Structure 1
């Protein structure tokens, strides 16, 4: 008899495979008063044509998932997938709470960080030590927090949105009067005869930062496997480029023309957004006998974070420690040094996390790239950034419905904690690491002709796919061997694939076929003087020098076209930085300028909160 876990997994794979077709026929239910109740829209069907068209984007989405570098460059994510954090993993939180945070508005949700440096930024105390008299000067209760201009409800959002604005200019105590900044000679009544509000101190620590207050650094340990939903790209980027599309338009089904959730300034909506996502987690809970549901949502900014939905003692986190942080006048630390060390810590995750930190369930990857929908960016100046703003609400709801089904099947995979059928990122990594530096060298190495350099590489790259004992072997057979080389292992598990597995396979196959075809085209040029078996390319005779020049031109064209399609983020990495105080910096919300995004380079990290900010430049972009 098969083990229970195998039976459950088999059932779930069947569920994930058949629901798309079973639910493609609309169903209707009638209430007792004959009112027709419309069910959720059926999932959209995956489109092979769309997958092949978007194959390079899908490939890159898999390569960049849970990696800071690629997520920063391809910051408009179109994909979501389930992930699991193993029991015992540590996470961090920074905030004004000396105990477990009650959650924004007491609702239980708040933010967790994967890295110490990330949480430390939000654990910092505000300002110097508080003055001896903390209350209103005329108030007998010096501990009355209402005497301060401070809204604790928005504390987390304000800290996050403006954290880089802290400087000596803002860290000054000022005194204001609620009615008038001028001293009117001591009149104690206002124009209506009512007593004036007493003067009281207002402390400015960036926009509406409130009075000096201690911060606290929290460390938590997962006391069970945590179920998470990963939103790819830079999903925590509050900017007009479209980083928030998959949350606002797809998951939360917000009207793209309705600004009430966004506060009208692009920075807002975080409280509504996080609360809405956690409400969705409750709505999509599954029946596994243990109250199973999504525990939180992974997003990327400068560092990976989790919108965690339940910080209570029953929410899956044990408190390891909660430490108070110092006021500015208690240490000799320099703000710029803190910023530098923060980004240095974030950069350690450019290429992913250590093994075992998190498990991605690639079999659950739901991507807008799988569907025949319009992902064109309405901002013609940024065509490389896909958007959901041109999709219809019905299409988005269809994709969302498929994601809901994938989440519903989560309970079936619980014995394996959402283990993917195939590690597609591992396969993608094999392809990228084999070809990335070689193609990059073909484009950049000027010490030798590109055709001669390619001739040196080709024996290693394609000879393994050619049967030299059969001179009549068709090129199509050789091309197939090359295309399927890194995918061969996954085919042994084909019977267990979900529709998402099939779509990822098709995308990777399209990419590897394009690479292999380009290599065989280069082979034809450097050895036969022609590409694509086009005899016309070799029909005219010329000097050896002219023939070599023609070969260089043809090889260069093939490589340029190939790299233009691939758009691998590895080609935008810096060479090793020459000085220890430099780092290869890419724009990561909310830091970095245009140059950091389009041309990352080694630089000294200092004073990034000022100047030409890439993310602020996106605030005026067309968003719908």
Structure 2
């Protein structure tokens, strides 16, 4: 690490072109927002989402809901994309089932085990798993990052400051029923019914759907397994107090969430990448270091309401002028190709394994050779050919994603061409290190292949440690909660859960 630091200092002392010329500000963050959208992995690392996308869930898609009643739900409620996620909400609650004025919460299962078992005659010991299919193409607003995480870490900044216009300022992060009701009121009254709900993520993706009765078809409602009675052992390794089933539920929940690290899958969600809005597009000073975790993340709490007003207006125009189902170019697929092509190469080049300038140049030439005319060298043409490799000729020229993906691809190719012509090894490594710091691709934190019974654990609310964030590692899925200082701080107590 100290060698890389020395290289960077050397590069800065010797001088370099202005960083904003080589690496346009925030193009990297918009690129990463596109790349991580609807992916559990990248959205867990970049958990303070700063962007809003229009999203469509196709008709016929299966979604799940868990509660304490076999009666189909009407009105506004939550849906999960994975049944294991919904099963969390079928578990018993300390004082009976939740009601609209006492919302329930996704981590009740974890709090429950700490508070002891339910009385054996409690009628709410076993709940119900509801399976629905969408009756039409749902029109949703996707709030990116881990926007369903009830934390003070910044996960709810974009909702509270932009979507809800500071109506929750100074109030606890747990006003989830109020957020859902306000979102649906705005969908009806402000946006002329153009949205059916919100799409968010915690440990798993969820939909806040405004009208279950209108937008869903009931497939089935099934009774879930109850807690083991006191004094009995159970197959999950519990102690007879119900904790075994609860721990098993947490294991299933996090395994299901981890299965979506690479994406929601099956085109169950389609995003409009040609038209979206992002805080990174307004020239705002966003990044702040967390006092709790020591990690830099974007925040909106320090930005004045006046400076956020253009963002709010653009969000409203997005919803009123565009639709989730309108055709759009798949910029995420292009971002994927850029990352898959260069992530391993850049990590290898900065790893210290290439010990001389000659070795480094040979490796760079291997990457660039398809774009070089060795009879007529022209570095400008080489950069163009390299940066446009994955971008179809008919791809849009305008839009946030178009500019960000083109810019990031060009930054990669320009740096490689520049470093290839270098004669100074420390300066070359410093340039490459500056590039990787700028890119901050989330793939560089992946664990690699984990054993079949393990998951690569990154903090997914409400579990995870600071060490899990800095150095994710494979962990037995039955014990996802690692040791060390909690990443999300102190969990709030009932009855403030959604």
Q: Distance in 2 between matches of 1:594 and 1:320?
A: 41
- Match of residue 434 from structure 2: 561
How far off is 1:576 after superposition?
A: 1.6
Q: Distance in 2 between matches of 1:160 and 1:368?
A: 28
Kept in 1: contact 2:125–2:227 (CA 8 A):
no
- Match of residue 204 from structure 2: 303
- Match of residue 259 from structure 2: 348
Of 306, 321, 327 in structure 1, the residue corresponding to residue 226 of structure 2 is 327
How far off is 1:601 after superposition?
A: 0.6
- Match of residue 160 from structure 1: 106
- Match of residue 251 from structure 1: 163
- Match of residue 222 from structure 1: 134
Q: Distance in 2 between matches of 1:243 and 1:469?
A: 53
Q: What are the equivalent positions in structure 2 for 1:422-437 lying under 5 Å apart?
A: 422-437=329-344
How far off is 1:433 after superposition?
A: 0.4
Of 388, 391, 412 in structure 2, the residue corresponding to residue 515 of structure 1 is 412
TM-score of the superposed pair, with normalisation by structure 1: 0.68
Larger Rg belongs to: 1
Q: Distance in 2 between matches of 1:618 and 1:457?
A: 48
Q: Distance in 2 between matches of 1:285 and 1:172?
A: 44
Q: Deviations over 1:461-480 (max 9, x none)?
A: 21222222224x3x223223
- Match of residue 590 from structure 1: 462
- Match of residue 101 from structure 1: 73
How far off is 1:126 after superposition?
A: 5.4
- Match of residue 272 from structure 1: 178
Change (3 A) 1:255 1:450: farther
How far off is 1:352 after superposition?
A: 0.4
Q: Distance in 2 between matches of 1:86 and 1:593?
A: 36
Q: Distance in 2 between matches of 1:255 and 1:294?
A: 20
- Match of residue 506 from structure 1: 403
TM-score of the superposed pair, with normalisation by structure 2: 0.84
Q: What are the equivalent positions in structure 2 for 1:275-424 lying under 5 Å apart?
A: 275-286=181-192, 292-312=193-213, 314=214, 316-329=215-228, 332-333=235-236, 334-335=244-245, 336-377=247-288, 379=290, 382=294, 384-410=296-322, 417-420=325-328, 422-424=329-331
Kept in 1: contact 2:93–2:112 (CA 8 A):
no
Kept in 1: contact 2:203–2:257 (CA 8 A):
yes
SS in 2 for 1:389: coil
How far off is 1:382 after superposition?
A: 4.7
Change (3 A) 1:172 1:114: closer
Change (3 A) 1:299 1:317: same
How far off is 1:426 after superposition?
A: 0.9
Kept in 2: contact 1:95–1:156 (CA 8 A):
no
SS in 2 for 1:328: coil
How far off is 1:149 after superposition?
A: 6.9
Extract unaligned runs of 5+ from structure 1: 1-47, 103-107, 128-147, 175-200, 204-210, 287-291, 495-500, 531-550, 620-624
Kept in 2: contact 1:80–1:366 (CA 8 A):
yes
Q: Deviations over 1:423-467 (max 9, x none)?
A: 111111110000011112223363x52645534433342122222
Kept in 1: contact 2:289–2:297 (CA 8 A):
no
How far off is 1:326 after superposition?
A: 2.4
- Match of residue 349 from structure 2: 442
| Number of aligned residue pairs | 458
Q: Distance in 1 between matches of 2:468 and 2:81?
A: 24
Change (3 A) 1:230 1:280: same
Change (3 A) 1:99 1:451: farther
Q: Distance in 2 between matches of 1:445 and 1:456?
A: 15
How far off is 1:368 after superposition?
A: 0.9
Q: What are the equivalent positions in structure 2 for 1:439-518 lying under 5 Å apart?
A: 439-444=346-351, 446=353, 448-449=354-355, 451=357, 453-471=359-377, 473=378, 475-491=379-395, 493-494=396-397, 501-518=398-415
Q: Distance in 1 between matches of 2:413 and 2:97?
A: 61
Of 601, 604, 610 in structure 1, the residue corresponding to residue 473 of structure 2 is 601
Change (3 A) 1:164 1:599: same
Q: What are the equivalent positions in structure 2 for 1:26-105 lying under 5 Å apart?
A: 52-102=24-74
- Match of residue 622 from structure 1: none
- Match of residue 40 from structure 1: none
Kept in 2: contact 1:222–1:318 (CA 8 A):
yes
Change (3 A) 1:117 1:490: farther
Change (3 A) 1:596 1:603: same
Change (3 A) 1:570 1:425: same
- Match of residue 16 from structure 2: none
Q: Distance in 2 between matches of 1:436 and 1:398?
A: 35
Q: Over aligned residues, Cα RMSD in angstroms?
A: 2.8
